[in-house]
Amino acid sequence: METSIWRALFYLVGIMAFAALNAAYLVWCERKGAARIQRRSGPTEVGYEGLLQPLADGLKLMSKQLLVPRSVDGIIFRLAPVLAMIPGITSLVVIPFSGNIQARAMELSLLLIFALASLGMIAILLGGWASGNKYAIISSARAVSQNLAYEIPMLLTAITVVMISGSMNLREIALDQQGGFWQWNIFRLENGHFLTMWVSFIIFFICSVAETNRAPFDMAEAESELVAGYMTEYGSMGYGLFMMGEYINIVVGACLTATLFLGGWDCPFGLTSGVWWFILKIYILIFTVIWIRWTYPRTQIYRLLNLSWKILIPFAMANLLITAALIKVF
Amino acid sequence: MNSYWSDIINGGKSLVVGLGITAREFFKPVVTEQYPWETPTMLPRFRGHIELIGNEETGAPNCVVCGMCQRACPSNCISLDGQKAEGGKGKVLTRYILDFTKCSLCGSCVESCNFNALRFSREYNLASFDKNDFVMDLMKRLEDQNRCKH
């Protein structure tokens, strides 16, 4: 792999721009999507169909005072929002957008993404802890127990994919699925994996929604109980960074789901594979996440944990065993 | 164990049904009105503040200054004055002030009027920063309406 400084710079700027643009415009998509589902029209005033709304929101957030209450732990309080952004953006480094668009094809890229995802949880924990606010602490405790619960089935299903592909390198995993949708891990004909892999896909997708703290699993910011959860004491860009972090995490989750299960940049009919297919797949997944948010009400914390420990984990384990057996038998 | 499986199956089914409903709603037309750009026409039975009804030909108020509305009002919103009609019997209205800050839109004044002189207006754009905007001179309002008619 070529290692010139321009390549690094190009990817740095590219990934930052991709992340920021997505964070800004996914808010717009979310508001428009919510509006359409509730038969409203959403933002319409700022620019054509409200397209400049994210810009206006950003300006508003930046022009507000960054208020640090007296009782908070100053350094951690200021650090937490930045820490919420970093793992998401860093994860994008190892995402293979297409066969030749990838910043770094590391051998353990899948592991790196899971490690960074846990770091995102630490940001929420620190933000809530440093706030010195009851609601914030309850919220971050919930977020941690939730993320712990959902990381297990997520990792178990990821292991099934790793076993099939025989690699932890996302690029290798995607390359292994080239040549039409029957090669994708979700419908894989080879060894009869299609029997169980669709269950894996559903478990993985549910977990990625839960990992990003999205509704119906947004226990961390349950307004009706916890004001705004760990974000209660944050205003201005502190809040803005948490918000952007959430949306970047959604993008990373969608990228990971598309790479692991939906063949990455592969065309369903084995014809014109390229980055456009990858973009199409991740935006379909992101739209589904938005669609889910505006369909289901928020669950309760114990139901959420029950879903993970009683349903997702047993199913993921059964899946793991069956997949291993299928690989061994055929 | 049975309920475990049936929970998963029925739960999964109901989730799909929910997604189906929102997907269908997504493609249906918007039902909200874009208020400042689209102004709704108020329904006939809408209760705005009260206004005077003018005579269809002359435009003069139908009011005979009996004072029933003033007496019917539970919150003393209405104050009116009249004077002896020139060369005729009865009185003509000279002043009709409604203090809308106190009005609860009960409609007792409209009900009590026996001369078809009062009705609810269909005015709803009533926001203001000044309290005095809500002390309304209804005679002036009637004159303005008459001017618009001609």
Number of Cβ within 10 Å of residue A243's Cβ equals 21
Among A38, A206, A312, pick the best mutation site for testing chain B contact (most B Cβ within 10 A). A38
> What residues of chain B lie within 8 A of the CB of A295, using their CB?
18-19, 21-22
pLDDT(A3) > 80: no
Q: Among A218-222, A246-250, A260-264, B131-135, where is mean pLDDT lowest?
A: A218-222
pLDDT(A222) > 80: no
For B102-124, how does the pLDDT look when each residue is reduced to its tens digit (9 = 90+)?
888 888 888 898 888 888 888 88
For A15-41, how does the pLDDT look when each residue is reduced to its tens digit (9 = 90+)?
888 888 888 889 898 988 889 899 888
Identify whether the C-beta of residue A47 lies closer than 8 Å to the C-beta of residue A267. no
Query: Can you give the pLDDT at residue B129?
Result: 92
Task: Tell me if B22 and A294 make a contact (CB, 8 A cut-off).
Answer: yes
Among A32, A36, A202, A290, pick the best mutation site for testing chain B contact (most B Cβ within 10 A). A36
Helices of type H across B1-150: 2-26, 68-72, 108-112, 138-149
Closest residue in chain A to residue B25, using alpha carbons only = A37
Minimal Cβ distance to B25: which of A37, A41, A44: A37
Task: Tell me if A36 and B26 make a contact (CB, 8 A cut-off).
Answer: yes
Q: How far, CA to CA in Å, does A154 sit from each of A34, A86, A145, A172?
A: 27, 21, 15, 20
For A265-289, how does the pLDDT look when each residue is reduced to its tens digit (9 = 90+)?
887 777 777 788 888 889 999 999 9
| B22 vs A39: CA distance, rounded Å | 10
Mean pLDDT for the stretch of residues B134-143: 85
CA-based radius of gyration for chain B: 26
Query: Can you give the pLDDT at residue B13?
Result: 92
Q: How confident is the model at residue A1 (pLDDT cuts 50, 70, 90)?
A: low
Closest residue in chain A to residue B15, using alpha carbons only = A296
Compute the count of residue pairs across chains A and B with CB atoms less than 8 Å apart: 36
CA distance B17 to chain A (A): 10
Mean pLDDT for the stretch of residues A105-130: 86
- Whether chain A has a CB inside 8 Å of the CB on B9: the answer is no
For B5-56, how does the pLDDT look when each residue is reduced to its tens digit (9 = 90+)?
888 888 889 989 999 999 998 898 888 888 888 888 888 888 888 888 888 7
Q: How confident is the model at residue A2 (pLDDT cuts 50, 70, 90)?
A: low
Task: Take residue B132 and report the two structure tokens written for it.
Answer: 């005095």
| B82 vs B65: CA distance, rounded Å | 6
| A211 vs A151: CA distance, rounded Å | 7
Tallying the residues shown for chain A, one arrives at 330
pLDDT(B145) > 70: yes
Query: Can you give the pLDDT at residue B17?
Result: 93
Minimal Cβ distance to A311: which of B8, B21, B25: B8
The mean pLDDT value of chain A amounts to 85
pLDDT(A55) > 80: yes
pLDDT(B150) > 70: no
> What residues of chain A lie within 8 A of the CB of B25, using their CB?
36-39
Closest residue in chain B to residue A39, using alpha carbons only = B30
> What residues of chain B lie within 8 A of the CB of A35, using their CB?
30
Minimal Cβ distance to B18: which of A41, A295, A310: A295
> What residues of chain B lie within 8 A of the CB of A296, using their CB?
15, 18
Task: Tell me if A296 and B28 make a contact (CB, 8 A cut-off).
Answer: no
| A247 vs A178: CA distance, rounded Å | 29
Greatest mean pLDDT among A47-51, A266-270, A318-322, A323-327: A318-322
| A217 vs A231: CA distance, rounded Å | 16
